[in-house]
Amino acid sequence: MTFSRQTTLGAQATVTGVGVHSGKPVSLTLGPAPVDAGYIFVRTGLEGPDREVQATTKSVIATEFATVLGDREGPIVSTAEHVLAALRGMGIDNATIEVDGPEVPIMDGSAAPFVAAIDQAGVVEQGARRRFIQVLKPVQVAIGDSFGELRPHAAGFRAEIEINFNNPAIGRQSFVLDLNPESFRRDVARARTFGCMNDVARLWSAGFALGASFENSVVFDDTKLLNTEGLRYADECARHKVLDAVGDLALAGLPILGAYRSVRGGHKLNNEVLKALMADRSAWKIVEADAVSLQTARRGRASADVTSGVLGGLAPAFGPDVS
């Protein structure tokens, strides 16, 4: 598989868990979708007909505690970012995501269970060329002490994420990811959502995070980690912020050729930077895989192989096909 063409899933795969906010059981099924469909959420289990929403920035209606997608009638699905990160990170262009509750199941707090579901379903190439959104000039957004920027980076998609918490158990962390299926699986897919115990208590009292637990969250008190099993990565918090950014920026509708830098960011900042990019038509253009390959070839095959993050002979999910 060269990944120069669009991809979808070869079959359906289902995962079950609980909603992190409702605490109620929910089932999610990943399945194939046609060329150029993108990611389509289908909300089932309603009294009336199923509701559908395409996962784009135009469908985002809330970003306070998670990324919530909906339409004029209201919310359709919440906590969409982890499954979107898995799909984008593993190089899937088109997929249906059926959910029988108001939230995507939190699973273990990471994207790893969704990656496993993608592995189970299999990945197949489709007949159409993959298309990209290529960033042409920097776009920046500042919200308080948070800063986000998308800038040109033709070798694929890069995330540069920095966090800085007053809590000494988290502190200042940063992580850089050059995105391809192997790096996503290895470096960020298993990074779990995290929070501080006083924040969790506040959310519980407000009726949120009712499904949060030590089984699906990394939890700190004022000085230390509370999970007895420890961390999956020393910088797991920064890596999870990278995971969230990959999922939130998947709402561009196409894979991005560019670098995203975030300082003290979150879902709101990720969404605002993406909206700012899409609103400025001089800041981006749509290119096909062949055109991207030509640009890379001009920089030299050896350089392209290194900067695109080709591992084990597989082309990157969001870089050009240089085979």
Q: Is residue 267 flagged as an active site residue?
A: yes
Cβ proximity of 254 and 128 under 8 Å: no
Task: Tell the burial category of 295 from Cβ atoms under 10 Å away from its Cβ (0-12, 13-18, 19+).
Answer: middle
Q: How far apart are CA 144 and CA 269, in angstroms?
A: 10
Work out the number of other CB atoms within 10 angstroms of the CB of residue 305: 15
Element spanning 275, H or E: helix 267-279
Given 21, 153, 240, 267, which residue is catalytic? 267
Measuring CA to CA, which residue among 320, 280, 285 is closest to residue 299? 320
Q: Which residues contact 26 (CB under 8 A, 6 or more apart)?
A: 16, 17, 18, 19, 99, 100, 101, 102, 103, 104, 105
Q: How far apart are CA 295 and CA 298, in angstroms?
A: 5
* DSSP letter string, 10-23: SS-EEEEEE-TTT-
Give catalytic residues, as residue numbers. 267
